[in-house]
Amino acid sequence: MRIAFIGDIVGRPGRKIIKENLSKIRMEYNIDFVIANGENASHGFGLTIKNCDELLKAGIDVITGGNHTFDKKREMFVLLETKNVLRPDNYPPGIPGSGIKVFDVEVDGQTEKLAVINLMGQFAMPTVENPFNWAVKLVNELKEQNIKNIFIDFHGEATSEKRVILMMLKGQVSAICGTHTHVGTDDLQIMDSTAYLTDIGLTGCRDNVIGMNDKVPISKATTGLGGHFEVPNSCKSILQIMVIDIEEGKATNSFKLKKLCNQSELIKTDAIID
C-alpha cells in the first residue's frame, strides 16, 4: 500500500495548487490513498462544506483537523456527520465527530484496511485529553481488531510532543506526521518500521508568514497590535506531500515531494532509515 499525506492546506492558494497537481501526482507515483490536513483550507481558518467537496473531488480521500477545526462550527458539524472528515480524537467528551476511521483501500485488486488517527497536542492548544495515553488506547484497540496499517496526524505546537509520540509508538504504527506550525522540518525518517516527520509544513503561500499576508504579523511583532490574518489572493505557492510505502503495517519506504508553483519538476527527499 502506498499512501500520501498533505500538510496544512491554507486558503485558496493551497486548494488551487492541489487541484492543479494532485491527480497527476497520484497517477505518477501510484498512490493508493491520500490524507490531508484541511483545518485552514477555507480563508485560512476552518473548513466549509464547499471547500471540503472541492478537496475531495481533487483526489483527497480523508481530511483531518486541529485547533481550527471548529472555526466554522455549523458547517463542520455537518461535515463530521456526512463526509470523510476527522477532528482530533482527543477533544473532550461531548464534541461531535471522531478522530479515527478505518478505510478499505484498493491495492492491486485487493482490499486492505487502513486506520487514520487524528490527535492534537497539549502545549498552546485548546483543552484536550492527554494525547499520549489516548494514542496508546486507540492503537491497542486497532491491534485487537487485527488492523496493522495505521497512520497518525499529530497536530501540535511543540516538536517535543511529536517526538514523544514517535518514541512511544515506533514499531507499532505505520507512520506519524506532524502538522500545525506550517513550517516543514528536515527529519523524515523510518525508525523501527515507522515513518516519521515532525512537521510536513503548509500547502499554500510560501512567500509570507505561515501562509498569511505579512502585514498583520509584522505589526503584531513590532507594535503588539494585531488584527485579522488574511490569506493573500496571489503568491508563490507550494504543495508538500509525504509518501509512505506500507507492507503488513510496516513502513518500508518514505519520501517527501515538494511542488513549487513556478517550477515544473518535483523536489524529492528520501527518508533516512534507522
What are the strands, taking DSSP E only, across the chain?
A: 2-6, 33-37, 62-64, 100-107, 110-120, 150-155, 175-179, 189-191, 194-197, 204-205, 237-247, 250-260, 267-270, 272-273
Helices 11-28 and 49-57 cross at an angle (nearest 10°) of 20
Give dist(CA 120, CA 132) in Å, integer.
10
Catalytic residues: 68
Cα–Cα distance measured from residue 16 to residue 220, given in angstroms and rounded to the nearest whole number: 29
Q: Confirm if 118 and 138 have CB atoms less than 8 A apart.
A: no
Rounded distance, CA 252 to CA 28, Å? 19
Assign 74 to helix, strand or coil.
helix
For residue 49, count CB atoms less than 10 angstroms from its CB and return exposed for 0-12, middle for 13-18, buried for 19 or more. middle
Contact in structure between 139 and 173 (CB atoms under 8 Å): yes
**How many C-beta neighbours within 10 Å does residue 209 have?**
16
Rounded Cα gap, residues 5 and 195, in angstroms: 12
Q: Which three cell numbers stand for residue 231?
A: 490569506
